[in-house]
Amino acid sequence: MNRNELFSLLILREKGAKAPATAMTLKEIASGDTAVKSVNTLYKIFKKLVISGYVSCGLPDGRAATYYITDAGLTKIGEFES
């Protein structure tokens, strides 16, 4: 896991994206106070996080995919905070 992946997980946690109904689009995540502002870069990061099981896809927002942090992602953040 690299810094951008960890920061992405932290943003989802801080914004309360912990369930399919509260999931966020990549555009919403990029507009926040994240180091990564490119939606394309975020897409690559989140693709990896989904495969790892730390993030899951939520309910679609129009045609945009949404993402939320899973319990495994919350556990992973805990490993870095302690």
pLDDT number for residue 38? 85
**Is the confidence at residue 67, as pLDDT, over 90?**
yes
Q: Which CATH number is correct for 3-73, 3.40.190.10, 1.10.10.10, 3.40.630.30, 3.10.310.10? A: 1.10.10.10
The first and second tokens of residue 4, run together, are 């951008």
> Residue ranges of the domains in the chain?
3-73
Torsion of CA 75, 20, 36, 62, to 10 degrees: 170
pLDDT for res 34? 64
Question: Model pTM?
Answer: 0.91
Average per-residue pLDDT for the chain: 92
Tokens of 6: 């960890």
Helix ranges (H only) for 1-82 are 3-14, 26-31, 39-52, 71-81
pLDDT (tens digit per residue) in 4-56: 999 999 999 999 999 999 999 999 988 876 677 788 999 999 999 999 999 99
- In the block, tokens 């870095």 appear at 80
Residue 80, CB-side half-sphere exposure with 13 Å CA sphere: 12
